[in-house]
Amino acid sequence: MYARICLLLAGLVISSCSADYAAISERKPVFQPIRSTGRALVSFQQKIAHAAKADPALSLGDYLAAAQEAEQRLKSHPEDQDARDSYNFAVARVFSAFRETGKAPWSQPLEVPTAEGAYQLTYRREHQDRRLWNPALYDFLPADEIEMKGLYVEKHVTRGGLGAPLVAVGKDNDKAARANFGMDKIYYGVTALLDFTGRNCVITFLDPLENEEVRLDGRSHPLAADFTTPLAVMLARSNPKGMELPRLLRPQKYAETARVSRIQPYDPNKTVVLVIHGLKDSPATWAPMINSLWADKEIRTNYQFWFYSYPSGYPYPYSAAILRKELDAAEKRFSLKHKMVVIGHSMGGCISRLLITDADEKLWMDYFGKKPSQVSLTPQTKRLVEESLIFDHRSEIGRVIFISAPLKGSDLASGWPGRIGSWLIKAPFTLINVGNEAFKAVVTTGDSLKVNGMPNSVDTLAPNNRFVMEINKLPLAPGIPYHTIMGDRGKGGNHDKTRPVQSDGIVPYWSSHMAGAESELVVPSSHSAHQNEQAMEEVERILRLHQN
């Protein structure tokens, strides 16, 4: 019975999909014969063919020799596409050999014998001013060896150019991730190049989100990049989907997962885009949009992406209170030179709304009828309630994009599907105790949703939830532009509450619409409008607008 109700909750209260977000498998890439350069790289082909048949311990020398030959050809003929592709293939195979042999030059130079003499293989130790970069902490997967498929990686975003795109996978979890607002385990795209001086070869790693070009022998070449494969590897190996429903139903068990994190190294010169997921979701839901935005050079150059992840069983005012603390801590760690852009989907949009609202003590007074100093509550209860009800807008935010946000609630949350969903969520003990105590001091009203204690996330999405009704009486902070994007399943309907209403299947138009929005766009989509192509193009337009 419990399992059936869980399935009902997933099907009726939330927008979900049974397809895998991403699945990966490894393949052996095949070198395509060169035609356009005639005999210019014929010995390259011979070396690659010989290396493919050789023992992995011996093939490394052939791959290095092939890469050097292709590099020499590029220096004299920089427009030779075959030479560039040959170089990239050979560099990638060098990393294949590292994986197969377990030998790499990260701790000390590696001597690689060949019939023509030994190569001395080292690496460039500085990586984009990140002096702690240590290749020994990562496994490197050549991107051309990864076959991927899945709902979130349908669009393969690459940039043609020089170098071998790799996926750098952290061998261990990053113990400093929380303090540095990084990912627990690193999956990141880098591009490798080999620089030859005689028999000396130096490996260089470049970040394709930081570098658009690379110089070879005084000439500029586009830097090759694969932006999608690292996302696919991360999604496939970390399985975020498996945590989404548990974080809704048992939020206390996953309290430590509430955090802000970066998907890329911090760059003070780039504007932060903070994305916030919705009910029964995770940061993985943003993969299609981030992947699409990375295809745009202007976006890559000017923006960096942060995520706010949280157990979605929490009432969203409480999740917003946690986020405010996370932002305070993040700004102590990093100096923000530019005001950030916040994008919230579904309940994430409700959280975003609280970031640009000056509540002061208005919500508190509505609930308790008197000032905090006059309400008798235990210190812990008072602190938690104050953090959820008393707040001002965040000065570091310069623009907000709301996508499929039930800002005025969703009838599904107040109807029987929502009531079942609310019953299934096991509230944290701390919030239960706070709710039981605070409920006794709250001034009752006759027109709001009846809950005997602290409401959970589903309760706070009901149109007749007291918090929802009161927050919508408060104006947004002036001077912060905002935009709305919402989905329409194509069934038509009215913009107001007159039935039938226009809806994405979960959230009606009247709930997502916001007077005063700088722009509004309705896209043909279900509730997952943030993954709709037109919506992603609109976000790209808004980010370009914000930059200018």
pLDDT in tens, 372-426: 999 999 999 999 999 999 999 999 999 999 999 999 999 877 665 655 667 677 8
Average pLDDT over residues 80-108: 94
Q: What is the pLDDT of residue 458?
A: 87
Distance CA 424, CA 9 (A): 9
pLDDT band at 435 (very low <50, low <70, confident <90, very high): confident
Instruction: Spell 127-152 as b/e; 16+ CB within 10 A means b.
Output: beeeeebebeebebbbbbbbebebbb
Q: What is the pLDDT of residue 37?
A: 53
> Residue 388: which of 308, 323, 461, 313 has the closest Cα?
323
Helical (H) or strand (E) element with 64: helix 56-76
Helix (H, G, I), strand (E, B) or coil at 170: strand
Q: What is the pLDDT of residue 428?
A: 81
The amino acid present at 203, given as its one-letter code, is: I
pTM of the prediction? 0.93
Per-chain mean pLDDT for the chain: 90
pLDDT band at 343 (very low <50, low <70, confident <90, very high): very high
37 CB-near residues (< 8 Å, 6+ apart): 73, 80, 82, 83
Task: Tell me the pLDDT tens digit for each residue of 478-506.
Answer: 999 999 999 999 998 999 999 999 999 99
pLDDT band at 10 (very low <50, low <70, confident <90, very high): very low
The amino acid present at 252, given as its one-letter code, is: Q
> Residue 346: which of 454, 244, 228 has the closest Cα?
244
> Residue 304: which of 331, 345, 340 has the closest Cα?
340
Quote the Cα angle for 447-448-451, to 5°: 140
Burial class of residue 265 in the structure, from the number of CB atoms within 10 Å of its CB (0-12 exposed, 13-18 middle, 19+ buried): middle
At 156, phi and psi to the nearest 5? -95, 105
Q: What is the pLDDT of residue 126?
A: 63
Distance CA 333, CA 277 (A): 23
| Contact call for residues 279 and 347 (beta carbons, < 8 A) | yes
Helix (H, G, I), strand (E, B) or coil at 307: strand
| Contact call for residues 140 and 203 (beta carbons, < 8 A) | no
User: Among 22-36, 206-220, 236-250, 521-535, whose mean pLDDT is lowest?
Assistant: 22-36
Angle between helices 42-53 and 56-76 (to 10 degrees): 160
The amino acid present at 534, given as its one-letter code, is: Q
82 CB-near residues (< 8 Å, 6+ apart): 34, 35, 36, 37, 40, 41
Q: Locate 163 and state its tokens.
A: 């170098």
Distance CA 114, CA 117 (A): 5
| Contact call for residues 333 and 446 (beta carbons, < 8 A) | no
Average pLDDT over residues 2-11: 41
pLDDT band at 53 (very low <50, low <70, confident <90, very high): low
Q: Is the pLDDT of residue 38 over 60?
A: no
